[in-house]
A = this chain, B = another copy of it.
Amino acid sequence: MTEHSLTTQTASTTRDQLVDAAERVLRAKGLARATTKEIAREAGYAEGTLYLHFADKLDLVRAVHERLLPEFIEMVSHLPGRAGTGTVEGNLTDLARSALGLYRDMLPLGSSLFADPELLERFRVMLAERRGGPQRAWEPVIAYLRAEQALGRVDPDADPAAAALLLLGACQQLVFVELMTGPGTLPFRDRPDPAPALVATLLAGLAPTQPSDPSPTEPCA
């Protein structure tokens, strides 16, 4: 109320403050334990105020996830798209590291949606309107790989979509396991930075380099 400019750049409407507060509470307490009372208190408003701006609690939670979308997409777009600069390996390693951070930030909130089918359904409806969703992460990676293919730094026969899914999927799964097994565990063995190994493996492939074995593993027909 009496704050003049807590953040110089944000309009900080009541609605935004409520969404901010809801996101903080959701991150801290989880969907199951986030109450309207606490969200309102966190935002500095009365509980009833919440219902001036949102139809119900799920509508507010959905708004949190809705606002996450552009955030997510922007982060994704910042995934290095620097085709032709540096090395492919370096770029993809940066990308993987960014993705790990992205998923560490987004996965707990996103996964919570599965706890409530009605919330998930509302989220789907919103995704259908806004074109968005987690699959958006693939796009800049695919675009980058295509650009590198054009530059000859990536195999022209490679499948960029599959490669994007392999790399980002690995990052997401790694974070998933991290979060599941707790902060004290070393999920991916003893490697503090798993990105290089993932990128190296993706670049080199598994197929043996010597065609001494006439196995049908070699697909480039």
A118 within 8 A of B: yes
A203/B197 in contact, CB under 8 A: no
Which chain B residues lie closer than 8 Å to A111 at the CB level? 111-115
Given A116-B30, A117-B30, A117-B33, A213-B153 contact (CB < 8 Å): yes
Chain A: interface residue total (CB-CB under 8 A): 88
B124 touches A182 (CB 8 A): yes
The docked-state distance in angstroms from the alpha carbon of A128 to that of B194 is 23
- Given A145-B206, A180-B133, is A201 in contact with B31 using a C-beta cutoff of 8 Å? no
Mark each residue of chain A from 62 to 104: 1 if its CB lies under 8 Å from any CB of chain B, else 0.
0000000000000000000000001111100000000000000
Identity of the chain B residue whose Cβ is nearest the Cβ of A155 in the assembled complex: B208
Q: Which residues of B contact A123 (CB under 8 A)?
A: 180
A156: B residues at CB distance < 8 A: 208, 221
For A194, give its contact among B152, B162, B204, B216 (CB under 8 Å): B162
A49 at the B interface (CB under 8 A)? no
Across the interface, A30 reaches (CB within 8 A) one of B89, B114, B124, B163, namely B114
Contacts A208-B156, A213-B153 known; A181 to B219 CB distance under 8 Å?
no
Chain B minimum-CB-distance residue to A124? B182
| CA of A152 to CA of B209, assembled, Å | 10
Given A127-B180, A170-B170, also A206-B216 (CB < 8 A): no
> Shortest 8 CB-CB distances between A and B: which pairs?
A205-B205, A115-B115, A169-B173, A169-B169, A169-B170, A219-B220, A111-B111, A87-B216
Q: Can you report 16 A-B residue pairs in the complex whose CB atoms are below 8 A from each other?
A: A30-B116, A32-B115, A88-B206, A111-B111, A112-B114, A115-B116, A152-B212, A157-B221, A162-B170, A165-B194, A168-B173, A169-B174, A173-B173, A203-B207, A208-B216, A216-B218
